[in-house]
Structure formats: structure tokens, C-alpha cells
């Protein structure tokens, strides 16, 4: 049975740590499913890690719907949250509602995530009043990277930390079921976590959030030239993949692949034997 937002709320009440990872396709969704991870984010970070853009800004609704649908097909157990991409929810509450509906109806997600605090609280309320589960995202908000002037830790001054708490409370009051805290000092994330009754999910926000999220590619070392400070390194798969592909290329060039083991003869009959 699929994990529900109710289960996620219960995890905070029971002080059970919430694990979340991004997934974008059949491979990453299948891996998260097999690892028993309870919540997946189909993140608009797919703009960088899958589509090769330099930020999340160019990601479209069609991109999100198509990747969410792949994840939903291949991960039947976790709660799937899909990102509303840049400018898909700021123009009007009606447009936000239509786009959130697409992620649920065409993309198969159970919840949507959007960036911002007080300024988007009315939109969050409109979505939650319409029966849509919403996850907030504050601190560093990647869709505003150009306005924020780069990838920077947020909430470092007393004023900024107070604004962050105000944003978190506004999202909670608007009905969000959880909130991502990205690139926030540990102490600030800890005090927001303590003040909220909904779970906080941290990325670069220290160990005291109720849960943690990591980008699949960062966690597994799939991008050799990109190692953000906040990323856990639980694999170096780029090295493994590069080595395997080089060996394959060498074997084809040296006429060592395929061998009889990977080949078929007329006499064995079946196409797969």
C-alpha cells in the first residue's frame, strides 16, 4: 500500500526520521522503491541532472508531468511529490490549481511541492482547500536562483531567520503537510522544526530536521564534477559507469564483444536462447 501524508505526519509525532530522495525515471524510482524509501520527490532538479540545463528555470509542466508519470509507474509504494515548476503557480491561483491537477491526474503524483513562504500562502490554501496535498519549500529556493544571486545559504541573520519562521508558519497555516528547508543554518532549521507541527525535510539544513532529502545523482556520485557541500556521498557510480563503458568500447573495437555467450545460432531455435 502506498505511503500517505497521514503516515508522514505520524512519523513526526513518533519522532521517526523521514527519508526522502528525488527520482526522475524508471531506474531511480525503482531503486527508491527497492530501498523502501517512503517519500519520493520528482524534483524540478531534473532540469539540471536529467535535461542538462544550468538551473531549474527552463523546466516545463510537460517535463514534470512526463517524469512524474514514469516515477509513479515504477514506484508503487512511496508517497510521490512532484514539483510545480517555475511560474506554473505564481501567475494566478486558477493556473496553479490547473497545473497541480495535471501533476496528480496525468503524472500520478499524490502531492505537489512549490517554493516560497508568505507570498505563496494564499495559493497553497487554494490548493489544499481543493483537496491537493502540498509540500512547501523555503530557505534557498532554486527557482529564484537569479534573484537570490546564486546558490547561497539563507536565514543567516536574525531578521532572515525570523522571516524564515514566518514563512514556515504561513505554509503550515495554509494547510501544507510538510516543508522542505534548503540551505539553512542548523540552528535555524532546528528552531523552525521545533515550532512546526508539520514535518520539516532538510537539504543542507543540518541533522535536526524531521527528515532529509537528497538529490539521487548527488547521493550516488553520478555527476563527477558536481559535489555540493550538503550532499551525502553514498556511491561513486560515475566512476563505475565510465569504467564499464570504456571496457565495452575497447572490447567492441578489439573484436572481443560479442562472444558466443551473447550470440544466437540457427540451431537453438528460440530468439532468446
Per CB under 6 A, residues contacting ligand KIV are 22, 41, 43-45, 83, 137, 180, 182, 203, 213, 215
Give SS3 for 122. helix
Closest separation in Å from C-beta 123 to ligand KIV = 17
Closest separation in Å from C-beta 12 to ligand KIV = 18
The residue behind cell 551473447 is: 262
Which entry of 33, 93, 106, 182 is annotated as an active-site residue?
A: 182
Q: Which is nearer to ligand KIV, 132 or 180 (CB)?
A: 180
Closest separation in Å from C-beta 141 to ligand KIV = 9
Which CA distances in Å does 220 have to 31, 50, 84, 146, 234?
11, 14, 25, 27, 5
User: How many Å apart are CA 271 and CA 132, to the nearest integer?
Assistant: 48
Q: Which is nearer to ligand KIV, 8 or 215 (CB)?
A: 215
Q: Which is nearer to ligand KIV, 65 or 203 (CB)?
A: 203
Which CA distances in Å does 118 have to 23, 62, 154, 164?
28, 27, 16, 9
Q: Which is nearer to ligand KIV, 196 or 213 (CB)?
A: 213
With contact defined as beta carbons under 8 Å apart, do 40 and 135 qualify? no
Look at the alpha carbons of 161, 142, 195, 119 in this order and tell me if their dihedral is positive or negative.
positive
Give SS3 for 192. helix
Q: Which is nearer to ligand KIV, 161 or 213 (CB)?
A: 213
Closest separation in Å from C-beta 203 to ligand KIV = 5
Told to judge if 182 belongs to the known catalytic residues of this protein, a careful annotator would answer yes
User: How many Å apart are CA 10 and CA 65, to the nearest integer?
Assistant: 29
The residue behind cell 550516488 is: 220
Residue 40 sits at φ, ψ, to 5 deg, of -115, 140
Q: Known catalytic residues?
A: 182
Amino acid at each position: 500500500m502506498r505511503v500517505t501524508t497521514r503516515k508522514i505526519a505520524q512519523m513526526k509525532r513518533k519522532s521517526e526520521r523521514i527519508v526522502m530522495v528525488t527520482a526522475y525515471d524508471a531506474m531511480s524510482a525503482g531503486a527508491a522503491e527497492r530501498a523502501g524509501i517512503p517519500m519520493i520527490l520528482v524534483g524540478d532538479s531534473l532540469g539540471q541532472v536529467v535535461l542538462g540545463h544550468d538551473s531549474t528555470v527552463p523546466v516545463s509542466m510537460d517535463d514534470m508531468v512526463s517524469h512524474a508519470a514514469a516515477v509513479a509507474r515504477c514506484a508503487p509504494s512511496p508517497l510521490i511529490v512532484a514539483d510545480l515548476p517555475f511560474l506554473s503557480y505564481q501567475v494566478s491561483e486558477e493556473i496553479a490549481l490547473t497545473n497541480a491537477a495535471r501533476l496528480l491526474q496525468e503524472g500520478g503524483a499524490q502531492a505537489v511541492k512549490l517554493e516560497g513562504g508568505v507570498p505563496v500562502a494564499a495559493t497553497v490554501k487554494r490548493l489544499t482547500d481543493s483537496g491537493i496535498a502540498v509540500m512547501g519549500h523555503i530557505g534557498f529556493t532554486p527557482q529564484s536562483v537569479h534573484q537570490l544571486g546564486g546558490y547561497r545559504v539563507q536565514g543567516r541573520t536574525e531578521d532572515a531567520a525570523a522571516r524564515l519562521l514566518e514563512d514556515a508558519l504561513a505554509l503550515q497555516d495554509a494547510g501544507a503537510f510538510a516543508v522542505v528547508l534548503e540551505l539553512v543554518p542548523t540552528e535555524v532549521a532546528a528552531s523552525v522544526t521545533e515550532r512546526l507541527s508539520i514535518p520539516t525535510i532538510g537539504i543542507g539544513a543540518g541533522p535536526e530536521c524531521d527528515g532529509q532529502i537528497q538529490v539521487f545523482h548527488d547521493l550516488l556520485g553520478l555527476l563527477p564534477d558536481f559535489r555540493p557541500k550538503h550532499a551525502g556521498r553514498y556511491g561513486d557510480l560515475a566512476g563505475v559507469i565510465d569504467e564499464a563503458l570504456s571496457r565495452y568500447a575497447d572490447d567492441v573495437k578489439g573484436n572481443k564483444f560479442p562472444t558466443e555467450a551473447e550470440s544466437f545460432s540457427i540451431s537453438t531455435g528460440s530468439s532468446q536462447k
